Amino acid sequence: MSPCSNAHPSPRRLPGLMRSRISRAVWAAPLALACTVGKCEMPPSELQRVIKSMPSGPLTMKRSGGTLIAEYCPDNTCEVIQVKAQSSVDAAYPLLAGYFYYFSTYTYLEEWRRDKNIESALAQSLLQSKTGRCPYQGKDLVRCELISLNSGKGRVTILDIRYDEGRKTSLQLNIQEALK
C-alpha cells in the first residue's frame, strides 16, 4: 500500500450513501498529489479549483526531495517552474499557480486569466501565503516572492521544454526576463 493511500480512500471503502454521492472523478482528479515519505501534500481547496480549471491542463504539482515542481503541458511543450526553498509547501503552491496566471506566455491561458472568480481565488490564496518579505499584492507579490526565493537560500528555475521528433529539448529561462 502506498504511503498516500489513506489520503484518498477508494470509493468502495466508503459507506453506500456517501459512495453514491461522490463521483469517481473526484478520486481520479487530474491534480497531481505530492507524496513524500508517508505524507501527501496538496494545495488548499480554493487553489485546487484554480489549478483544475486551467485549460488544456491541468497544472500538475509535485514534490521531489526539497523541490516543489509545477508543470503545465498543454501540447508538445511544457513550462516548468521549480522551487527549492526552506519555505513551507503551502506558501509555495500559490506562488507557482501565480506564476502561470501572471507570467506564463501560453495563449491557452488567456481566457482563463479573464475569469474574475479565478483571479479572486488566486489573490486570496496569495494573501494567505504571504511571507512578509514583499509588501505587494497580485502580480507584484508573485514576482517579488519568486525573486526573493531565488536570491535567498532557495532557488527558482523556470524551464521551457519541447518534445519535437522524439527528442526532448529543455531551455532554462532567465528569471528576471520571465517575470516581466
Percent helix, percent strand, percent coil in the chain, to nearest 5? 40, 25, 35
Tell me the per-residue pLDDT of 2-33, one tens digit each, with 9 for 90 and over. Answer: 333 333 333 333 344 333 333 222 322 333 33
Long-range contacts at 107-110 (CB < 8 A, ≥ 24 apart): 108/55, 108/56, 108/57, 108/74, 109/54, 109/55
What CA–CA distance (Å, rounded) separates 169 from 135? 37
Question: How many Cα atoms sit within 13 Å of 83 on the Cβ side?
Answer: 28
Tell me the per-residue pLDDT of 111-165, one tens digit each, with 9 for 90 and over. Answer: 999 999 999 999 988 888 777 788 888 999 999 989 988 886 668 999 999 988 8
Tell me the per-residue pLDDT of 113-128, one tens digit each, with 9 for 90 and over. Answer: 999 999 999 998 888 8
- Burial category of 138 from C-beta neighbours within 10 Å (exposed 0-12, middle 13-18, buried 19 and up): middle
**Omega of the bond prior to 58 within 30 degrees of 0, cis?**
yes
Domain ranges of the chain: 1-29, 31-178
Question: Model pTM?
Answer: 0.71
